Copies of this chain bind each other. A is one copy, B any other.
C-alpha cells in the first residue's frame, strides 16, 4: 500500500472546473491514494475545490501544482492515459481492472502516472504521446464521457482493488452459530404440531406443505438465536390453541 499510495501520481491536466479537482482529491483519499498533480488548472486553489474535497483538504493542500506536464511526469517510468474514445491506433488499450493491476505492479519499481485530460476535450495528441498505454472505462456508447472526478473514482477504485489489501473486517453473517440439523428437525416437528393445532394442516391430507416450509426455512439458515425466537413463537401459539 505505501508504495502505491506514494508512487502512483494522478495527474489532472488543465481542469476547467475547480469542483472536479476537489472531488478527485476526495476520491483519491477514499481509495487510500495520496499524490495529486494539477497541471495548468483554470482556477486552483479555489473555494469550490475545497468544498468538494470535504475531508480530503489535506490531500488537496498537498497537491502539486505544475505549469506543464513535463514537471508532473519527471521521474515517472510508466504513464497511463485515460480516454473516452474506443480506440487509438498504436496504444495498447487496457480495461480499468487491468489498468489497476498494471499501475500497482509498475509502482513497485518507481513513480508512475495516470493522466486525465481536460473535461471536454480529453488528452491532446501531445499528451497521448507521453503514454505507454491507455485505459478506457466501459460506458454507454450514446453517452460515454464520464465526469472527471467520476472517472478518477472508478480508476482509483480499481487501483485499490489491485492492491489486494487485507479487506476491512468482514461481517459475519450472524453472531450465533447456525442451528444444527437436530435443532432444525425439532423445529419442523414443533411447527407441524402447531399447524395441525390451528387447523392449517390436515394430517389426513398433508400434501406438500411441510416440504415447502422446509425449503423456505432451510434457505434462511436460522442461527441459534433465531431458532430460539421461532420456537418461542410456536410455544406462544400453542398456549393459545391448547387453552381454547
Q: What is the interface of chain A, defined by CB distance below 8 A to chain B? A: 23, 26-27, 29-32, 52, 54-56, 86-93, 96, 134, 136-141, 143-147, 149-150, 153-154, 157, 160-161, 164-165, 167-175, 194-195, 197-200, 209, 212-213, 215-217, 219-222, 225-226, 229-230, 232-233, 236-237, 239-241, 243-244
Contact = CB atoms under 8 A, between A and B. Distances in A.
Contact of A87 (B29, B31, B170, B222): B170
A89 B233 contact: no
Contacts of A165: 138
Given A55-B145, A209-B229, A216-B220, 4 more contacts: A90-B174, A150-B153, A220-B220, A240-B241
A30 B168 contact: no
Contacts of A243: 244
Contacts of A222: 216
B89 A140 contact: no
A191 to B, nearest CB: 9
B221 A55 contact: no
Q: Which of A143, A149, A243 has the most CB of B within 10 A?
A: A143
27 contacts: A26-B147, A26-B150, A29-B140, A30-B140, A30-B145, A52-B147, A55-B145, A86-B170, A87-B171, A87-B172, A89-B171, A90-B174, A136-B168, A138-B160, A139-B160, A149-B150, A173-B219, A194-B237, A195-B236, A200-B237, A212-B229, A216-B230, A217-B220, A237-B237, A240-B244, A243-B244, A244-B244
Contact of A200 (B144, B149, B232): B232
Contacts of A237: 194, 198, 200, 237, 240-241
Given A31-B139, A91-B171, A147 B219 contact: no
A137 B175 CA distance: 23
A239 B154 CA distance: 52
A22 B77 CA distance: 38
A165 to B, nearest CB: 7
